[in-house]
Amino acid sequence: MTQLSDRVLNMATSATLAMAAKARELKAEGKDIIGLSLGEPDFNTPDFIKDAAIQAVNDNYNSYTPVDGYVELKDAIITKFKRDNNLSYKHSQIVVSTGAKQSLANIAAVLLNKGDEVILPCPYWVSYSDIVKLNEGVPVEVNTSIENDFKLTPQQLEAAITPKTKMIWYSSPCNPSGSVYSKEELRALADVLQKYPNIIVVSDEIYEHINFIGGHASMAQFDDMFDRTVTVNGVSKAFAMTGWRIGYIGAPEKIARACNKMQGQITSGANCIAQRAVITALNASPSRVQFMVDEFKVRRELILGLLSDIEGFKTNVPEGAFYVFPDVSHFFGKTFKGQKIDNATDFSLYLLEHANVATVTGIAFGNPDCIRISYAASQEQIIEAIKRIKEALS
Ligand SMILES: Cc1ncc(COP(=O)(O)O)c(C=O)c1O
């Protein structure tokens, strides 16, 4: 009998993908499921980017690519970092990967030794914890509160640091809470880190452009943090390119070189056609994709308004990304037709079964009281989904 490794046996299945699979299964059985579980824009990749890909096919871009990315793509990334973030990276500090997920996997693989701790403010993006564990690191989950907009305070950071702390990972705008750290809030965290010069910051900024308050702040913008921060970004969300699989980092040179080495033995360079298309995407003005952000903003208002009408949902006001992360603990302990809701997973499954709406349990994001609802869906779908949820909960 085949014996699988402890590594994979101890790994959790991605809850977002699992929920999407379950919703697909029910759809196949003929159920009218509204999917609000997945984290991808419901727009097509803009035509000017698709045209660049078609051009690349016709120009015979078909060979292996440099492991860390085409030099023209690195040029575009360097320009983007300067234009959007006022960050000055050199070519040797950039590594292009097969999605930001691989960028994160590379970082964990090159920095973690067994037992090294990684501070994860909760809620965190679903894969952080398992990527850390896969690399024998120890996730140190720090609970944040809805009252503080799910943001880590300097005091909480300080209290979580131990001699084994190697890194802190967070996303801003945050998946799943939509929280956006201001420059002042990041500075306050950086001030704590001044006392611990060996801790590396991994700043996941993949939702950078989906920001409703304007003004994105990066940890690496502080001169005293630049040499110890890895800035992770990608095109999946801002350009509606989730399937193209391109992510990248700007990092201290030593870390970037190590990621290059690691990737060279595992996947090599990212897809050639996708890279050519991303050159065009990143060289374009962010205003070309502003229409998606505008639409997400309208939907945010819509869903917040509808949810405020349901008793028992407590929600922060997300300032970016395309999720709401309501606290639904009000419903825990309640029973319907013999089915008891004890936690966020039960609640999410209840909604799937009784409202035909797919959401994701907060447990997957390190928060057992909340569920994540994605509003990367049409306004009609959102209205119908929340109506069904309201009915199912009454
Ligand atoms: C916070 C965060 N980081 C990273 C990723 C991975 O993005 P990519 O599609 O580039 O692998 C996601 C995707 O959902 C995300 O939400």
pLDDT tens for the chain, residues 1 to 394: 899 999 999 888 777 777 778 888 888 999 999 999 888 999 999 999 999 999 999 999 999 999 999 999 999 999 999 999 999 999 999 999 999 999 999 999 999 999 999 999 999 999 999 999 999 999 999 999 999 999 999 999 999 999 999 999 999 999 999 999 999 999 999 999 999 999 999 999 999 999 999 889 999 999 999 999 999 999 999 999 999 999 999 999 999 999 999 999 999 999 999 999 999 999 999 899 999 999 999 999 999 999 999 999 999 999 999 999 999 999 999 998 888 999 999 999 899 989 999 999 999 999 999 999 999 999 999 999 999 999 999 8
Instruction: Give one DSSP letter per residue of 67-102, joined into a string.
Output: TT--HHHHHHHHHHHHHHH-----GGGEEEESSHHH
**Shortest-distance atom of ligand 1 to CA 103:** 11
**Shortest-distance atom of ligand 1 to CA 125:** 1
State the first-to-last Cα distance of the chain, in angstroms, to the nearest integer. Answer: 49
Rounded CA gap, 119 and 101, in Å?
Answer: 18
What confidence score (pLDDT) does residue 19 get?
A: 79
∠ CA(358), CA(303), CA(124), 5° rounding?
Answer: 60
| Cβ neighbours of 312 (radius 10 Å) | 12
Q: Among 102, 108, 133, which residue's Cα sits nearest to residue 267?
A: 102
Q: Cβ(247) to ligand 1 under 6 A?
A: yes
Q: What is the pTM of this model?
A: 0.96
Pocket test of ligand 1: the residue of 16, 37, 45, 101 to mutate, having most ligand atoms within 8 Å of its CB, is 101
What confidence score (pLDDT) does residue 38 get?
A: 82
Pocket test of ligand 1: the residue of 103, 175, 179 to mutate, having most ligand atoms within 8 Å of its CB, is 175
What confidence score (pLDDT) does residue 130 get?
A: 95
What confidence score (pLDDT) does residue 338 get?
A: 84
Give yes or no for a cis peptide into 66 (omega within 30° of 0).
no
Q: Cβ(175) to ligand 1 under 6 A?
A: yes
Q: Give how far Cα 232 sits from Cα of 16, 93, 208, Å.
A: 21, 12, 10
Q: Cβ(206) to ligand 1 under 6 A?
A: yes
In degrees rounded to 5, what are phi and psi of residue 248? -160, 165
Q: Cβ(239) to ligand 1 under 6 A?
A: no
Residue 237 CA, ligand 1 centroid: distance in Å: 8
Q: Residue 73 corresponds to which amino acid? A: L
Pocket test of ligand 1: the residue of 237, 239, 241 to mutate, having most ligand atoms within 8 Å of its CB, is 237
The region that residue 48 occupies, defined by phi over 0 for left and psi between -120 and 50 for alpha, beta otherwise, is alpha
Q: Cβ(320) to ligand 1 under 6 A?
A: no
Q: Cβ(172) to ligand 1 under 6 A?
A: no
Rounded CA gap, 321 and 376, in Å?
Answer: 9
Q: Which residues of 128-148 are buried (b: 16+ CB within 10 A; e: fewer)?
A: bbbbbbbbebbbbbbebebee
Q: Give how far Cα 292 sits from Cα of 45, 48, 58, 247, 281, Å.
A: 11, 15, 29, 20, 14
Pocket test of ligand 1: the residue of 129, 206, 233 to mutate, having most ligand atoms within 8 Å of its CB, is 206
Residue 19 CA, ligand 1 centroid: distance in Å: 17
Q: Cβ(125) to ligand 1 under 6 A?
A: yes
Q: Give how far Cα 345 sits from Cα of 23, 124, 239, 304, 358, Å.
A: 14, 17, 31, 22, 11
Q: Residue 198 corresponds to which amino acid? A: N
Question: Could you tell me how far CA 18 lies from the centroid of its own chain?
Answer: 16
Measuring from atom 16 of ligand 1, which residue has the nearest CA? 175
Q: What is the CA radius of gyration of the chain?
A: 21
**Shortest-distance atom of ligand 1 to CA 39:** 14
